[in-house]
Chains A and B, each alone.
Chain A
Amino acid sequence: MIDRISDMLAQVCALWRDLTGHELFYWGNGAPSSMLVSTLESTPEGLPAGLLDLAPESADHVESITLQNQIWLAGRIGQPPVHISIASRQTDPTTLSQFKVVIHLLNGLMEDSRRAYQIQASFLPTNLPEIPEFEFGASLLPAHLIGGDYYDIQGVQDRWAIMVGDVAGKGIPAAMLAAMIHATLKSEINHHTKPAELLQRINQLMYAELDRSHTFITTFLAMLQTRPLKLHYASAGHTTTLLWRSAEQQVLQLPSTGLPLGIYPHTTYTEHVVPFHPDDILMLYSDGITEAENAQGRVFGGQALIDLLLAGHPAPIDKQIQLIFSALDLHRGQLPLRDDVILLMVRARGPEIATQVQPFVFTAEKHNVRTLATQVRQVASGLSFSSPAERSAFLNDLELAVSEIATNIVIHAYKDSPYQGRIQGRVSLFPENVQVDLIDSGAAYHSPSGLSPHSSRRDFSPIDPPTSGYGLAIARRLLDTCAYTRLPEGRNHWQLEKSIPHPAGISHPEPGASSDRLRE
């Protein structure tokens, strides 16, 4: 909201300058510094002392005062605690009435702004359906409080309608159009259950308004059916939808099936039917996520979302949403988001196998090796052991193995990259074992020559041991599975697994007898 008002004020300043030849000054009052609207414009004259302390009694009230032999006009817009003072010199009798008009106009715009925010905040769904067949999750992080993005999840007869949309343009007009299409969708959805028909109808209804506003809307609309499990969708130029296919362990991007709304009055849309199986996940998002920039100007990107689906897909949806926002925070650091960020996920529930799945994401920095190792240890401590000694040995060994693999990734994977890479993954707890999956997008891992996975006796003289190269060997000896795979699109996947020792007999695997698999 504040940024929009800055834009408005900047435009009004320009108009005022043209009209009167004077500068219009404005400054924020009584608000935390992060909400201050602007700084003073510097001119040779500056502002006389005494003007800053002026406190007009109410909005629309204009004060006229004389300071240092100059006549000044001052007014206030907005309501305390966040209000803005406006001031200008007066050298012409007509300036006073013009100033009053400007104050009145600005107050009106502030009020509209505030009301539009209230409208928007109320129409976005906060309560998600809780049904046995699907697990829903949604999160909206507004960068500004008004935008042209919208989403909705609605039950219609025996289906669930899910939609995400983006009005081209910014500010109050975009927000108004977003509210309008949302209301239209809500009513039309009862008459048209097929996504393609619905989009066609919406396009017809909204065309005139969109044409008049010289804008368009991209929308993705899916209908989810529970019995049998089915996903129909139509997409008006909206491309930011991903489908995680659990059986294939791959992410599919769902393509657009027609033009955006508002381009032509009679656009037809096609509809796709997509297989949607248990444990598959549909992810809808606004490009505020993928376009988010870090300090170096690099965008978060679509691949990052795919990495995070790979890493977190078995975890509860709300944890996956937290994961994505954590990664976004790591990426942008202190930089604010420029656009609205919408994230909506639906999973077709499948059989629960893991007792607990905890996803994580860290920057691939040395200090995070410890963070990761201790987090894995902490989750694994949920296993049941037959004695404190067994528990202690197991957790120590697991922590050591994870430390070695994480060190390997941190040191080698991003060695030649100018960008700060991330490691994402999950710890999965099962009744009798723990699994750790690590995904990174660094260089491929190549095992050093001379170190065979099954060598149980290193060739070194105790007088002159090697200084390095122990790490992977340690990990392989301590884990029941230590598998590396190079995934498409330049991803590395380490899968580590350690089982509770069986009560009957063996306590520790013999060195070199680990059943690891090394695949390239």
Chain B
Amino acid sequence: MQIKSEHTSPHHAVLSPSGRMDVESSPVVRQAILDLVDHGVRYLVVNLVQVEFMDSSGLSALVSGMKALRRSGGMLTICLANAQIRTALRLTMLDRVFPVYESIPAAFEAAEKEQPPEA
């Protein structure tokens, strides 16, 4: 699992994991998100364009990450998820928590609006 992270401002970052997000690799992604929060990131976009597969372990990492961002007054959004990832989100109803945005700027915009998703 390779993870790239890029700060676009002191409080904005994009995390780009690649490969599979399952039980083996998800802890690494989760930790990467927590590290970014510790370094002051408030608006994090997780760009899933290079993620070929995600199961519930991957979803758990996203949820953990999102909660950490929220606790520090920020938000996590995702973008560019493939059909398989969308299925996983839909089956767990986490698609309401993580709408899939079609670009990084759109994802940042949504994160900054900090609108709670529709219940």
Residues of chain A whose beta carbon lies under 8 Å from any beta carbon of chain B? 366-367, 369-370, 373, 392-393, 396-397, 399-400, 403-404, 407, 410-411, 457-458, 460-468, 470-471, 473-474, 477-478, 511
Q: Let me know if A478 and B22 touch, CB within 8 A.
A: no
Q: Let me know if A400 and B84 touch, CB within 8 A.
A: yes
Q: Let me know if B55 and A404 touch, CB within 8 A.
A: yes
CB distance from A458 to the nearest CB of B (A): 6
Q: Please, which residue of chain A has its CB at the minimum distance from the CB of B59?
A: A470
CB distance from A465 to the nearest CB of B (A): 5
Q: Let me know if B92 and A473 touch, CB within 8 A.
A: yes
CB distance from A283 to the nearest CB of B (A): 34
Q: Let me know if B23 and A410 touch, CB within 8 A.
A: yes
CA distance A326 to B7 in the complex (A): 47
* A397/B23 contact (C-beta < 8 A), A403-B55, A467-B64, A471-B55 known: no
Q: Let me know if A467 and B55 touch, CB within 8 A.
A: no
CA distance A369 to B58 in the complex (A): 13
Q: Closest 3 interchain pairs by CB?
A: A470-B56, A366-B24, A471-B56
Q: Please, which residue of chain B has its CB at the minimum distance from the CB of A470?
A: B56
Known A-B contacts: A460-B93, A464-B67. Give 4 more (CB < 8 A).
Answer: A369-B24, A403-B53, A474-B91, A511-B91
CB distance from A224 to the nearest CB of B (A): 46
CA distance A211 to B84 in the complex (A): 70
* A458/B93 contact (C-beta < 8 A), A392-B83, A403-B22, A471-B55 known: yes
* A465/B116 contact (C-beta < 8 A), A366-B23, A370-B22, A407-B22 known: no
* A478/B91 contact (C-beta < 8 A), A462-B96, A463-B116 known: yes
* Residue B94 CB within 8 A of the other chain: yes
CA distance A404 to B59 in the complex (A): 12
The one of A399, A411, A467, A478 in contact with B23, judged by C-beta atoms closer than 8 angstroms, is: A411
* Residue B97 CB within 8 A of the other chain: yes
Q: Let me know if A467 and B118 touch, CB within 8 A.
A: no
A-side contacts of B88, CB under 8 Å: 400, 474
Residues of chain B whose beta carbon lies under 8 Å from any beta carbon of chain A? 20, 22-24, 53, 55-57, 59-60, 63-64, 67, 83-84, 87-88, 91-94, 96-97, 116-119
CB distance from A450 to the nearest CB of B (A): 16
B-side contacts of A411, CB under 8 Å: 23
B-side contacts of A410, CB under 8 Å: 23
Q: Let me know if B94 and A465 touch, CB within 8 A.
A: yes
Q: Let me know if A467 and B84 touch, CB within 8 A.
A: no
Q: Please, which residue of chain B has its CB at the minimum distance from the CB of A476?
A: B91
* A369/B22 contact (C-beta < 8 A), A461-B119, A471-B56 known: yes
Q: Let me know if A474 and B83 touch, CB within 8 A.
A: no
CA distance A381 to B94 in the complex (A): 29
CA distance A236 to B92 in the complex (A): 60
The one of B20, B63, B87 in contact with A467, judged by C-beta atoms closer than 8 angstroms, is: B63
CA distance A473 to B55 in the complex (A): 12
* A467/B56 contact (C-beta < 8 A), A396-B83, A474-B92, A477-B91 known: no
Q: Let me know if B92 and A470 touch, CB within 8 A.
A: yes
* A466/B83 contact (C-beta < 8 A), A407-B55, A474-B88 known: no
CB distance from A456 to the nearest CB of B (A): 10
A-side contacts of B55, CB under 8 Å: 400, 403-404, 407, 471, 474
Q: Let me know if A370 and B20 touch, CB within 8 A.
A: yes
Q: Please, which residue of chain B has its CB at the minimum distance from the CB of A367?
A: B24
A-side contacts of B24, CB under 8 Å: 366-367, 369-370
A-side contacts of B57, CB under 8 Å: 407, 471
Q: Let me know if A399 and B53 touch, CB within 8 A.
A: yes
Q: Please, which residue of chain A has its CB at the minimum distance from the CB of B93?
A: A458
CA distance A366 to B22 in the complex (A): 9
CA distance A367 to B24 in the complex (A): 6
**A-B CB contact pairs (8 Å), 11 listed:** A366-B22, A367-B24, A403-B22, A462-B96, A463-B117, A464-B67, A467-B64, A470-B60, A470-B94, A473-B91, A477-B91
Between A366, A367, A470, the greatest number of chain B beta carbons within 10 A of the residue's beta carbon is seen for: A470
Q: Please, which residue of chain B has its CB at the minimum distance from the CB of A402?
A: B55
CA distance A393 to B83 in the complex (A): 8
B-side contacts of A396, CB under 8 Å: 83-84, 87
Q: Please, which residue of chain B has its CB at the minimum distance from the CB of A472?
A: B56
CB distance from A297 to the nearest CB of B (A): 29
Q: Let me know if B22 and A467 touch, CB within 8 A.
A: no
Q: Let me know if A465 and B63 touch, CB within 8 A.
A: yes
Q: Let me know if A468 and B60 touch, CB within 8 A.
A: yes
Q: Please, which residue of chain A has its CB at the minimum distance from the CB of B117?
A: A462
Q: Let me know if B23 and A407 touch, CB within 8 A.
A: yes
CA distance A46 to B67 in the complex (A): 70
CB distance from B51 to the nearest CB of A (A): 13
CB distance from A392 to the nearest CB of B (A): 7
CA distance A370 to B54 in the complex (A): 11
B-side contacts of A407, CB under 8 Å: 22-23, 55-57
* A400/B119 contact (C-beta < 8 A), A462-B96, A474-B56 known: no
The one of B22, B23, B63, B87 in contact with A466, judged by C-beta atoms closer than 8 angstroms, is: B63
Q: Let me know if A462 and B116 touch, CB within 8 A.
A: yes
Q: Please, which residue of chain A has its CB at the minimum distance from the CB of B92?
A: A470
